[in-house]
């Protein structure tokens, strides 16, 4: 009884202690001591000794993670053995453990894709054992992280029968990092790759980067910007990339590089980069040989060609297929792949930019070598707060298409605004293309279900930098996390991922989970509403893309806002119907007809596909103008609602992270009003209609907003 009282007192004291300050460096791998003391004790007994079978660097990584994680969460020393010796936790492969082999799991494991795993309660002899098994050590590492996640999120560990298999073979981060350590569209400091000090100096951060990625199943990283520098293909830089590859290898992560198409000229001393030229082909083979000598498991090349000034095969009147295949041939003997981007559009081509990638690539279906994937952005323009899905998905059955999502928030408030992107990702992945009847989602194109792609892949443009918390905004971490989780399992919901992340990153307390899930789940729609409601797009400020810029005009129409919103006294919106640019024709039926019809088109895409008069009647009964005003105002007001949600968690989390987010939310509120006022005043010139009663009037005039120029915005 006395002991019980003491324990009770202890618990009270512990919970009354202030929450310790955290700087966010640990991401979702914080491994806090389990709050429930009883569970902690019993798990300490169960997992105090562990068997991790096998011998490899990956097995060592598993052991290190367990030492750290179990040690912290269970507040005890952890003893890890190489062989099973009646421990209650067994991790390994049938090849490394006779016990695992004898459990008859071969069929189950063989049915999984590479690096899939199972977590099961089994009996070995008379012993109840929690088993994590895979056919590969990396799979066992993934399973280990899964178990740790279950513990971090307070899940029950009995009766487990978990079977996990990744939905995409390659799950890749794209770093738009330059060799001088600036990061294009990077808002979290400089590049974490210190090219100058590599290969001799390895930061501990590189290992933590690998751990974080492995914990969510990411298995590839493109180290360099798609606006590429050919230098990275020289021996000096290959050595540097090789040093990173060595750090990442135990965590199952392959290194990729961007290949500048004109490299044969720039570093090869040739006069041409024509992909059909024999010397050029030889150059690429030589580069590939050099790389594989130093990085035997090198993943391959990512290429941006004939796009925004990057050189490409068009310079030599060759097709994208001819360009990609030359690189693919060089990589093929080594097992590498080419990820060739479909983000191409030309200012010389006078057609709607949204049409160009499809027009360029669909005729090339079937013409790419087997180790080429086409990497397609989620929407046909460019990572806008909302876009319909890219019509290439589903239109190239003979060519593996991979997704490119943007994790960094180029158009969604950089590292200043809180925007949880999983709702954007899932909206896109779950869109039904109907190409093979109902249920033909974009996700099923990507994961190979529909066209049986021999390679499947998904990429996300990273938001990582040297900031102590990696992503600038604490909630930027949730986007990295969500990308990885969806890359592994495209059937997860944005909400369940949010909850997982909150539990691991902030707290398991429902006073935190509930308001923060709500806030995260609404945040993207709120961001759409105060920037580009009802299908508006590309109306942000020039070059840095942070603030509003509906007034942007310029020499190159497809880089201006006026081209995209097309506002005049007659109305607003981009006519992409059959009477306009006919972009609708690139979508399969019934989507083509749905998008083409002003009545059927979802209102979230209305001004993407239609040009409509200001008094057009919306489903709400409001005029288009009033609806637009309503969206801008509710969007901006909702940031205050987010602030209230966040304020409510103050008692439950540490001061440092609380204040960090609180300050950023206040900036976001002010910026949202800036967006709202700018856009409403700008469009009002054309609608000539009043801001309806009940909405406060903008405090400044349009001229004020047009003159508001930010200087030195990072990430350009």
DSSP 8-state code for residue 250: G
Q: Which DSSP category does 551 fall into? A: T
Contacts of 195 (CB under 8 A, 6+ apart): 179, 181, 237, 240
Nearer to ligand GCW, 225 or 687 (CB): 225
Quick one: 74 or 412, whose CB is closer to ligand GCW? 412
Q: Is residue 192 within 8 Å of 202, Cβ to Cβ?
A: no
Q: How far is the CB of 403 from ligand GCW (least distance, A)?
A: 13
Smaller CB separation from ligand GCW, 251 or 340: 340
Choosing from 146, 304, 576, 631, the residue that interacts with ligand GCW (CB under 6 A) is: 304
Least distance to ligand GCW from the beta carbon of 383, Å?
5
Query: Exposed, middle or buried: residue 3 (CB in 10 Å: 0-12, 13-18, 19+)?
Result: exposed
* From 137, 164, 306, 382, active-site residue: 382
- Site map (CB under 6 A) of ligand GCW, residues 391-410, x = contact: -------------------x
Give the tokens for residue 40.
């902690």
Residue from 383, 483, 530, 546 touching ligand GCW (CB under 6 A): that is 383
Output the smallest distance, CB 184 to ligand GCW, in A: 5
Count of residues that bind ligand GCW according to CB under 6 A: 11
CB of 425 to ligand GCW, least distance (A): 17
Give min distance, CB of 357 to ligand GCW, in A.
12
What is the layout of strands, in order, in the sheet containing 117-124? 79-81, 49-52, 89-92, 127-134, 117-124, 161-164
Tell me if residue 171 falls in helix, strand or coil. strand
Supply the minimum distance, in Å, between the C-beta of residue 87 and ligand GCW: 49
Measure the CA–CA gap between 519 and 418, rounded to whole angstroms: 9
In this structure, are strands 89-92 and 79-81 parallel, antiparallel, or unpaired? unpaired
Residue 340 · residue 300 · CB < 8 Å: no
Residue 382 lies near ligand GCW (rule: CB under 6 A): yes
**Running DSSP on this structure, what letter comes out for residue 296?**
T
Residue 337 pairs in a beta bridge with: 300
* Burial bucket for residue 233 (CB in 10 Å: 0-12, 13-18, 19+): buried
d(CA 82, CA 80): 7
Q: Which is nearer to ligand GCW, 226 or 280 (CB)?
A: 226
136-148 per-residue burial string, b: 16 or more CB within 10 A, e: under 16: bbbbbbbbbbbbb
Q: Which residue number, 176 or 633, has a Cβ lying nearer to ligand GCW? A: 176
Report 189-218 residues binding ligand GCW (CB under 6 A). Answer: none
Q: How far is the CB of 175 from ligand GCW (least distance, A)?
A: 11
Q: Which of 26, 81, 184, 655 binds ligand GCW (CB under 6 A)?
A: 184
Q: Which is nearer to ligand GCW, 132 or 552 (CB)?
A: 552
Encoded one letter per residue, x for contact with ligand GCW by CB under 6 A and - for no contact, window 587-606 reads --------------------
Contacts (CB under 6 A) with ligand GCW, residues 121-160: none
**If you ran DSSP here, which 8-state letter would residue 545 be given?**
-
Considering the complex, what minimum distance in angstroms separates the CB of residue 342 from ligand GCW? 10
Identify the DSSP state of 302: E
Site for ligand GCW in 227-286 (CB under 6 A): 227
Please choose, from the candidates 225, 146, 297, the residue with its C-alpha nearest in 3D space to the C-alpha of residue 462.
225
Which is closer to ligand GCW, CB of 176 or CB of 368? 176
User: Looking at beta carbons, which residue is closest to ligand GCW?
Assistant: 382
Shorter beta-carbon distance to ligand GCW: residue 171 or 185 = 185
Burial of 362 (0-12, 13-18, 19+ CB in 10 A): middle
Q: Which positions from 619 through 678 interact with ligand GCW, judged by CB under 6 A? A: none
Residue 179 sits at φ, ψ, to 5 deg, of -70, -20
Say whether 518 is catalytic.
no
CA-to-CA distance for 341 and 318, rounded, in angstroms?
16
d(CA 329, CA 351): 33
Given the complex with ligand GCW, which of 399 and 406 has the nearer CB atom? 406
Whichever of 175 and 473 has its CB closer to ligand GCW, that residue is 175
**Please, which residue, 63 or 175, has the CB nearer to ligand GCW?**
175
User: What is the Cα–Cα distance from 42 to 13, expressed in whole angstroms?
Assistant: 22
| 414 touches ligand GCW by CB under 6 A | no
Distances (CA, A) of 442 to 387, 438, 630: 14, 12, 32
Judged by CB under 6 A, which of 209, 343, 564, 587 binds ligand GCW?
343
Give the Cα separation of 8 and 3 in Å (integer): 8
Q: How far apart are CA 345 and CA 308, in angstroms?
A: 8
Among 28, 47, 176, 206, binds ligand GCW (CB under 6 A): 176
For strands 161-164 and 117-124, give the pairing.
antiparallel
CA torsion, points 572, 574, 577, 580, in degrees to nearest 10? 100
Q: Helices (DSSP H) in 317-438: which residue ranges?
A: 320-331, 353-361, 422-429
Which residue from 69, 183, 226, 591 is in contact with ligand GCW, where contact means CB under 6 A? Answer: 226
Q: Is the dihedral of CA 232, 233, 234, 238 positive or negative?
A: positive
Judge whether 360 counts as a catalytic residue: no
- Rounded to 10 deg, the angle between the 278-294 and 320-331 helix axes is 40
The verdict on whether 322 is a catalytic residue reads no
- Provide, rounded to whole angstroms, the least separation between the CB of residue 377 and ligand GCW: 7
Shortest approach of ligand GCW to residue 709 CB, angstroms? 18
352, 410, 447, 671: which one is catalytic? 410
Smallest gap from residue 241 Cβ to ligand GCW (A):
19
- Which residue is catalytic, options 23, 57, 308, 370? 308
- Identified binder of ligand GCW from the candidate list 63, 167, 171, 185, rule CB under 6 A: 185
Nearer to ligand GCW, 78 or 541 (CB): 541
For residue 458, give the nearest of 171, 57, 37, 198 by alpha carbon: 171
| C-alpha to C-alpha distance for 270 and 230, rounded to whole angstroms | 13
CB of 545 to ligand GCW, least distance (A): 7
Q: Report the C-alpha gap between 716 and 712 in whole angstroms.
A: 9
Q: Is 175 in the site for ligand GCW (CB under 6 A)?
A: no
Residues designated catalytic: 308, 382, 410
Binding site for ligand GCW (CB under 6 A): 176, 184-185, 226-227, 304, 308, 343, 382-383, 410
């Amino acid at each position: 009884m006395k002991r019980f009282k003491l324990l009770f007192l202890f618990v009270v004291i512990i919970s009354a202690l202030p929450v310790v300050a955290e700087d966010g460096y640990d991401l979702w791998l914080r491994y806090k001591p389990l709050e429930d003391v009883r569970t902690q004790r019993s798990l300490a007994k169960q997992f105090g000794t562990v068997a991790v079978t096998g011998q490899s660097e990956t097995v060592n990584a598993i052991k290190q993670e367990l030492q750290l994680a179990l040690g912290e969460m269970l507040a005890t020393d952890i003893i890890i053995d190489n062989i099973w010796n009646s421990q209650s936790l067994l991790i390994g492969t049938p090849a490394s453990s006779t016990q695992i082999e004898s459990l008859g799991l071969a069929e189950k494991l063989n049915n999984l894709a590479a690096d899939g795993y199972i977590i099961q309660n089994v009996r070995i002899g008379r012993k109840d054992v929690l088993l994590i098994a895979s056919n590969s050590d990396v799979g066992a590492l993934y399973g280990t992280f899964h178990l740790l996640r279950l513990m971090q999120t307070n899940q029950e560990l009995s009766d487990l029968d978990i079977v996990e298999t990744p939905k995409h073979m390659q799950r890749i981060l794209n770093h738009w990092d330059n060799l001088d350590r600036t990061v294009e569209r990077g808002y979290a400091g400089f590049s974490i790759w210190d090219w100058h000090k590599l290969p001799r100096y390895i930061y501990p951060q590189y290992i933590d980067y690998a751990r974080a990625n492995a914990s969510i199943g990411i298995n590839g990283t493109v180290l360099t910007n798609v606006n590429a520098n050919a230098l990275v293909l020289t021996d000096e830089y290959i050595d540097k990339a090789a040093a990173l590859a060595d750090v990442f290898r135990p965590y199952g992560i392959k290194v990729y590089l961007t290949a500048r198409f004109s490299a044969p000229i720039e570093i090869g001393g040739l006069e041409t980069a024509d992909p059909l030229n024999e010397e050029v082909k030889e150059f690429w083979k030589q580069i590939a040989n050099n790389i594989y000598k130093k990085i035997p498991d090198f993943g391959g090349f990512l290429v941006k060609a004939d796009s925004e000034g990057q050189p490409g095969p068009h310079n030599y009147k060759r097709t994208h297929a001819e360009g990609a295949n030359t690189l693919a041939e060089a990589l093929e003997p080594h097992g590498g792949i080419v990820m060739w981007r479909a983000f191409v559009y030309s200012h010389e081509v006078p057609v709607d930019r949204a049409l160009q990638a499809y027009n360029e690539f669909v005729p090339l279906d079937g013409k790419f070598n087997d180790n080429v994937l086409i990497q397609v952005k989620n929407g046909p323009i460019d990572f806008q707060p909302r876009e319909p899905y890219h019509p290439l998905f589903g239109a190239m059955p003979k060519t593996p298409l991979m997704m490119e999502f943007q994790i960094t928030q180029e158009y969604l408030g950089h590292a200043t605004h809180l925007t949880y992107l999983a709702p954007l990702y899932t909206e896109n992945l779950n869109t039904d293309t109907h190409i093979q009847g109902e249920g033909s989602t974009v996700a099923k194109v990507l994961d190979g279900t529909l066209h049986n792609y021999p390679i499947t892949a998904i990429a996300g443009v990273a938001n990582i930098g040297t900031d102590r918390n990696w992503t600038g905004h604490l909630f930027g971490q949730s986007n990295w996390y969500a990308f990885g989780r969806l890359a592994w399992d495209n059937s997860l919901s944005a909400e369940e991922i949010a909850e997982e992340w909150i539990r691991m990153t902030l707290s398991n307390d429902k006073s935190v989970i509930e308001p923060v899930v709500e806030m995260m789940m609404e945040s993207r729609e709120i961001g759409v509403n105060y920037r580009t409601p009802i299908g508006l797009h590309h109306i942000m400020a020039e070059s840095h893309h942070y603030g509003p810029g509906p007034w942007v005009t310029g020499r190159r129409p497809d880089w201006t806002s006026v081209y995209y919103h097309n506002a005049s006294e007659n109305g607003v919106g981009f006519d992409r119907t059959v009477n306009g640019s006919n972009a609708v024709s690139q979508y399969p039926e019934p989507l083509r007809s749905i998008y083409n019809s002003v009545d059927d088109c979802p209102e979230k895409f209305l001004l993407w596909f239609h040009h409509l008069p200001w008094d057009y009647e919306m489903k709400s009964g409001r005029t288009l103008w009033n609806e637009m005003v309503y969206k801008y105002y509710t969007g901006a007001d909702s940031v205050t609602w987010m602030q209230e949600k966040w304020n409510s968690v103050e008692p439950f989390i540490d001061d440092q992270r609380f204040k960090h987010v609180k300050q950023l939310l206040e900036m976001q509120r002010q910026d949202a009003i800036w967006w709202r006022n700018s856009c409403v005043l700008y469009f009002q010139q054309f609608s000539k209609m009043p801001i309806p009663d009940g909405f406060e009037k903008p405090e400044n005039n349009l001229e004020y907003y047009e003159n508001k120029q930010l200087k030195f915005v990072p990430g350009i």
